[in-house]
Amino acid sequence: MKHIKKRVCKIIDELITYFFVIGATNIDINLQEKEDHYKILLRGNYTTKDKSKIEKLVKYLKCDKQEEMEEYYWELAGESDVDTELTLVGMMTDNAEINISEDMIEVVLYRYK
């Protein structure tokens, strides 16, 4: 058993934690399983004035996909509410799109099977 779907749950869990950190009160989640990949979409508002928290999202999700890191550490994603594991989310996904507007952030992640 490789916990393939549980890993997708963990990615979403981690992102929800992040949205809470930036003060989101309205979060939409859409998860689609396609033939060869999962598409994860999270959209939420944010209230934080701390721009560095938003910049960190981009920086962390930019991390290359690294299966060797995922295999060892994937269980940590979504586990802590005092710290985020967004670099791990970056390592667990193949592509990422981020759209940031004045009061809304949309994150679309692609994870190939």
The reply on whether position 31 binds another protein by CB under 8 A is no
The reply on whether position 24 binds another protein by CB under 8 A is no
d(CA 107, CA 42) in angstroms, rounded, equals: 5
- Angle 27-16-65 (CA atoms, 0-180°, nearest 5)? 120
Q: Using CB under 8 A, which residues numbered 88 to 107 contact another protein?
A: 88, 90-91, 94-100
Considering only the stretches 29-37, 43-51, 69-77, report the one whose residues sit in contact with another protein under the rule CB under 8 A: 69-77
Please list, residue by residue across 37-51, b when 16 or more beta carbons sit within 10 angstroms of its beta carbon and e when fewer do: bbebebbbbbeeeee
Binding marks (x or -) toward another protein, 35..54, rule CB under 8 A? --------------------
d(CA 28, CA 13) in angstroms, rounded, equals: 13
The reply on whether position 55 binds another protein by CB under 8 A is no
CB of 17 to another protein, least distance (A): 7
Q: Is 67 exposed, middle or buried (0-12, 13-18, 19+ CB in 10 A)?
A: exposed
Q: Where does this chain bind another protein (CB under 8 A)?
A: 2, 17, 20-21, 58-76, 79-83, 85, 87-88, 90-91, 94-100
